[in-house]
Chain A
Amino acid sequence: MIVFNLWAVLQWYLRPFIKWFLRKTTRLCELQRICYGDKPGTSRTCNVEKSLMLSRTRDVKEIICYLDGIVQERRFVPQNFADIIEPSINIIMRVKKINPKLHGSFILSFRRCLQQIWSYKSLIENIEELRRTQFDSNNIQHEEKLLKLWDLLVPDEPLESRVTKQWQHIGFQGDDPKTDFRGMGLLGLENLLFFATEYSQVSRHVFSHSLHPRYGYVFAIVGINLTSMAYYLLKDGSAKTFMFNARQYLPSVNLFHRFYCYLFYEFDKMWIESKPQDIMEFSIIFKKFENAIRMELADPATVFRINIEVDTV
C-alpha cells in the first residue's frame, strides 16, 4: 500500500518532467503521441481521456468543465458537435502549439476521441434518467410498450386481459408486470423491447430457450437483472471497451441497448451450456457470467460483434 502511494506521489511530480522530456525528443505533445501511436478505439480514446483529466493546464481544465456543463444541459448531441467541439479543438491546438496544416490527421482522430468521451458521459445521464423513471400503469405510453413486448414475443396468442397469469409465460413474476421493474424502472422495459424489436429472430430464439422443460428460466426477470448488470458496467466505465470499439457508432441509448442485447444472447448461451439443475443456480451462473464479461471488457482490444447467428435447429 505504502509503495503504491509512494509511486503515485512520484508519478505526480515526475509526470511533467517525463512529458517535457518526451516533448523535446519527439517534438510531439502527449495528445499527439497518443493519437498517432495508439490503436483507434478504446485504447486511444481512454488514453486521451486520461491525459486530459490529468492535465494541469488552465485552458484544458476549462474545456473539460465546459464540455461537462454541456453534458449536464443535455446539449451534447451530434447536431451541436460543430459548435461545441471545434472551438475546443482550436484552443487545444493553440495551447499545445500544434500546426493544423501539418497535423490534419491528429485533428480527425482527436475529434473522434472527444466525441466518444463526452457522448459516453452524456449517455450515463440519459440512462440514469430512464432508470429513475418508474413504470407507471397510468401512463399510456408505458402501457403500450408493455403490450407491444407481449405481441413481439408471443405473436400467436393474444393477451386475455391486462392483468393475467399469461405474463408469467414470458417470465414476469405475477399477474401484473408493473412491480417487476423496480430499481431499473423504465430502462428494464426499454431494454427488453429493443431486444424483441431490433433482434426479433434472436430474441425469439432466446425466449424459446427460456421455455425449455429442463433448462428453462424466467425470461423477463433475467432480462431485468441483465439491465442492472449493463447499467453498472456503464456507470463504472467498464462498458467503454464495448462503446469505443464500435466503429460506426458513438455511445448512445441505442448502443447501450445493443450492449444489453449482446449480454442477453451471451448469457443465454452460457446458461444452456451450463446445464443448470434448476433456476436456483441462477445467482451462481450469473456471477460467473459477469466475471467472464468483465474479463473481456478489461482487454481494450476486444471488439464485440453482434452479428449473431441463429441456428435453425
Chain B
Amino acid sequence: MGLLSILKKLRSNPDKELRLLLLGLDNAGKTTLLKQLASEDVNHVTPTAGFNIKSVLSSGFKLNVWDIGGQRKIRPYWRNYFENTDILIYVVDCSDHQRLEETSLELAELLQDEKLRGVALLVYANKQDLATGKLSCSLLVVHIQDIQTHSLAPA
C-alpha cells in the first residue's frame, strides 16, 4: 500500500510521531478510516461535529490521526489543523457522482495553501466497492490530473 512507503520515507527519526490529517467532504468515510486505523468497530459511526483525534500504533509507527468534519459549515476551520501535518489523506466518496466536482475544487484549494506546502498527499478513493463507485474513480483521476496541471502540486 502507498501509505506505508510514504511513512517509511518520512521517518527519519524512529521515535518521531507523525501527524496525519484526514480531510474530505461529509460522508466520504474519514471517521470510518480513522476507526479502521485504530482497529475499532466501524458499524456505529456518526457524523462528525468538530473533529476526532486518535493516537495509533501501526506497523511500528506512532501516528496522530486527526479527522476533521467535512460538512460545509466546518470546512472553513480545516486550515486551523494544517500546521505540522506530515501527511494529508484526502478521502473521496467515489459513489457520490454529484459532488465529484465539489470535492476536487476543495482539494485544489487545499493544495494552494502555503501551510500545506511539502506535505505528502494521499487521495483515498473510497467506496469503489459500491456498484456506483467504479466509474467515478476513473473520473476522479481525470479531475485530479486537471488540478495538477492548473495548480502547483507540492511534494
Interface residues of A (CB under 8 A from B): 168, 173-174, 179-180, 182-184, 188, 217-218, 221-222, 224-225, 227-228, 231, 278-283, 286
Contact = CB atoms under 8 A, between A and B. Distances in A.
A173 B71 contact: yes
B77 A225 contact: no
In terms of DSSP, what is the predominant structure of the interface of chain B?
Answer: loop
B154 interface: no
Contacts of A222: 49
A228 B46 contact: yes
A179 B46 contact: no
A279 B46 contact: no
A282 B51 CA distance: 8
B50 A224 contact: no
B71 A182 contact: no
B44 A218 contact: no
A183 B43 contact: yes
Contacts of B9: none
B55 interface: no
Interface string B67-103: 0001111100100100000000000000000000000
A278 B53 CA distance: 17
The 10 closest A-B pairs by CB, nearest first: A282-B50, A173-B71, A183-B44, A173-B26, A282-B49, A179-B27, A183-B45, A283-B50, A228-B46, A221-B47
Contacts of B47: 173, 180, 182, 221, 224-225
A280 B45 contact: no
A173 B30 CA distance: 15
Nearest to A179: B27
Contact of A280 (B26, B43, B74): B74
A162 B71 CA distance: 19
